[in-house]
Amino acid sequence: MGTAEGVGGTGERSAIVAGGGIGGLAAGLALTRSGWRVKVLERAATFGEVGAGLSLWPNGVRALDALGVGDQVREQALAETRAGVRDTAGRWLSRTDTQELADRFGPLVMVHRARLLDILRAALPAGTLCAANEVTRVGPRDRGVEVEHGGTASRADLLVAADGIRSTVRSALWPQAPGPRYAGYTTWRLVVDAGQRLPVGGESWGRGERVGIAPLPDGRTYLFCVANAPEGQREPGRELDAIRRRFGHWHDPIPQLLAAADEESVLRHDIHALPPLASFVSGRAVLLGDAAHAMTPNLGQGANQALEDAVTLAALLDTRPDVDAALTAYDLARRPRTQRIARRSRRIGAVAQWRSAPATALRDLLLRMTPDSAVLGGLAPVLDWRPPGH
């Protein structure tokens, strides 16, 4: 993208997308399909991610359908996998019938994060992706934006900030906005090859600790472990030993999965969330995904909401008379929904991480007494989303 591309009389609208993760790639694809000339800037030297498992819920799959890549991920559906919440001994507290969920809302897809990124990258036109291009400065320019990146400056009609929870663009254009806040718990994520595909997934809840299991289509298993912990606490080279000590005595197949794991596969991250912002729009810059509404992972909606953002943004730019009107509509459509989901996810995480014995006993009892149909019905406001115009 040259220094004057996309601005002032070319007739073709141009966009710069900061961030080459799921939200950024989805935004680039959505805008490209709407006729925009797009550059996706990624600060890393290569496009890729050392990731683990990712839940694509029906709302996210519908967004991928709108992007033209839904069929490639729908093949990964786990409609016959049993799921729900268990206690540390393996007794079911709540069950989720994934077939009923699929019949009511659409399929739940479990995919490796790297696989989804591969699909999105492959769908973008050649020349769209620009690695080793960190955004260093942004500012308004001629009813558009000017972005300095990788030692050059580019102008465009629109800047989409999809550069994550510690967004450079958000810091520059929303200087008064609060930064990420620690949720009080840390997570270990790993993919394990235990030699067989498990028929059961879901979470197990203890006192201030949780384990999640999700079979992947290639026969491996995505495992995540969560524990209340001080922020920044680490055990370099011994993270696997740490989770074996914590969770190795929990119900099957958790001990077997941990026994089959290796230290190099363990990723540890403290969980942070972004406090609500007053707006997702500043001039011709718009926030998307974690840069706008980073949330705790307790509803599995982070990536799904980024996909919704991307599809909604492109659709509104197609149907509104100008870019400014479309961005106003995007803020009104996306900010209330994503902030509601973020609040709900935060509350679920708080309850799931309770440590008190009386509190956790009451929590488990209430889960057992709640009809499974009520749990499924409670997901409707999240999963019933449809792309604009569909």
| Residue 377: inside a domain | no
Beta bridge partners of 274: none
As for how many domains the chain has, the answer is 1
Cα–Cα distance for residue pair 53/57, rounded to 1 Å:
13
DSSP 211: E
Nearest to 13, CA basis, from 324, 276, 303? 324
Token pair 């961030």: residue? 19
Please list, in sequence order, all residues whose beta carbon lies within 8 angstroms of the beta carbon of residue 282, skipping any fewer than 6 positions away: 173, 174
Predicted local distance difference test score (pLDDT) of residue 143:
86
Along the 390 residues of the chain, how does pLDDT read in single tens digits? 343 343 334 568 999 999 999 999 999 999 999 999 999 999 987 776 666 889 999 999 999 999 999 999 888 666 556 789 999 999 999 998 888 898 999 988 988 898 999 999 999 999 999 999 999 999 888 889 999 998 899 999 999 999 999 999 999 999 999 999 999 999 999 999 988 888 888 999 999 999 999 988 888 999 999 999 999 999 999 999 999 999 999 999 999 999 999 999 999 999 999 999 999 999 999 999 999 999 999 999 999 999 999 999 999 999 998 999 999 999 999 999 999 999 999 999 999 999 999 999 999 999 999 998 899 999 999 999 999 986
Please list, in sequence order, all residues whose beta carbon lies within 8 angstroms of the beta carbon of residue 270, skipping any fewer than 6 positions away: 182, 183, 185, 186, 187, 229, 231, 232
Q: How many contiguous H segments (helices) and E segments (strands) does the chain have?
A: 14, 18
Answer whether 27's CB lies under 8 Å from 17's CB.
yes
Beta bridge partners of 41: 18, 130
| Residue 291: inside a domain | yes
Token pair 């465009």: residue? 156
Q: Which residue type, as a one-letter code, is found at position 314?
A: A
| Residue 134: inside a domain | yes
Q: Which domain holds residue 74?
A: 14-80+112-180+275-353
Answer whether 255's CB lies under 8 Å from 211's CB.
no
Task: Indicate which CATH number applies to the domain containing 60.
Answer: 3.50.50.60
Residue 71's Cβ-count burial label (10 Å; 0-12, 13-18, 19+) is exposed
| Residue 236: inside a domain | no
| Residue 135: inside a domain | yes
| Residue 96: inside a domain | no
| Residue 103: inside a domain | no
Nearest to 87, CA basis, from 374, 378, 371, 357? 357
Please list, in sequence order, all residues whose beta carbon lies within 8 angstroms of the beta carbon of residue 44, skipping any fewer than 6 positions away: 20, 131, 132
| Residue 361: inside a domain | no
